Structure 1
Amino acid sequence: MPALEPSLEIVRVPALRDNYIWLLHDRISQETIVVDPAEGEPALDAARARGWTITQIWNTHWHPDHVGGNQAIRDATGARVTAPAAEAAKIGHIDRSVGEGDQVSTGTLKADVWEVPAHTAGHIAYHLPDVGAIFVGDTLFAMGCGRLFEGSPAQMYAAMRRFEALPDATNVYCAHEYTLSNARYAAHAEPENSAVAERLKAVEAARAADQATVPTTIGAERATNPFLRADSVAELARRRAEKDSF
């Protein structure tokens, strides 16, 4: 994984078929945050193995494979749940509802809340500018973007522009291992893009060795992600529709 601030450790926890849960451990406060717990036990087990106690849960959106572990973790640890205000009714048992411009924190960690609707109507992301990290749920993927279940191509295009404006070195923590299928589509969408061809080979090798391909970086996505690279709403819409049946 990319190097982070000495006070922060981030752990990737596989869950379900292709989900990733993220644990953020602040070594100074000794608090641990879990982002998008698809299941409770994998997150709890990973924390216990390290002697950590989960104190907060951050959800990016309401889908069951992102909030399914909330209750088990709350029951085991008393962790407080932060989730998008626009989806509070669908998630339930929320301690704090947040939206654009809000900030969440624990110990020395501070994250700005971004509203990035498109995959779902109230989807949010958590941006930690001090450590160069962003937790994007199902909005931005390595070489891909989320399906437009509740939002529009215009909303997704706006989200891509916002992500694109981050520094190249920003680490992007998405919630699924979709990179191989995304890379294959990227090679179809941009056959002349040598960076895509090179990354496809690297992703194929990593997955053949059962290695994870995330987190990614904004720089890598700027070079190889056909949705981040789409030059208009219409182009993003065309590519998203094509990828849906690719």
Structure 2
Amino acid sequence: MKVKDLHILDRHYCIHADGYLVVGTAKHRRGLSGFVTGWCHRNSDTLHHAQNFLDIDSAHISFNAEMVELESFLGGVFDRDHQEQTVYRWEDQCIVPLGRKITKDEAKALIEKISDDHDIPVPKLLWMPDTNSSSYEEETNKIRFGHREIISLLHEMAHVLYHHRRDGERYADHAPAFVFTAIELYHQYAGIDLDTLISTARQANILGDMKSIKYIGDVSIPIVEYAIANDNAPKPAHHNVRKTGPQP
């Protein structure tokens, strides 16, 4: 089933799945009755996990529940990391030049500070040769660090923090929720201007559809709210955001 087959009554954009939860009625009622909810990726028209309801109240109860508690199947449907290279280009072109070089001792101290500030287990730092390549191993909580500048370290710590906040649940590694987490750390620990971070990320189209966010969870609420408030795109009527999740 396709989203285009529905008359959309409401939708919510999820920054974790980089997709929409929608509720609507079928345009062509053959085989379908009442109201339909389902998920689709931001760049796709295919509707996943479609459910039928006889009345709008039942459909909206399901809509609200799924908006708050993401279905476990989403990790498999929305795990394609389609904006990974775009995030890397954004960082290389706009963010890394605003950072600085970092030593092994500084990197270790920064990892410990971020972990303490956010009450998460301290990942082990593996200081690799200067290969311009770094990664975070979720299973062992280790950062293999082959860069020599602070932005790349904060990028890996954003993976650590986001993984902890999502309690290990995975979607695309560089989905908009990860970008918001990285922005939080770049601002807090590298002192980069928040307007610069938000505006350049918006221009790179890696923040998702901010005008359709109805619920925030497991990211920095003030950061997302700031981005929404400074989004110049038209917003739908009654744009009320429900708040939850850890504060920065």
TM-score (norm 1): 0.27
More helix by share: 2
Q: TM-score, normalised by structure 2?
A: 0.27
Largest Rg, 1 or 2: 2
- Using CA pairs under 8 Å that are at least 6 residues apart, name the structure with larger relative contact order, 1 or 2: 2
Say which structure is richer in strand.
Answer: 1
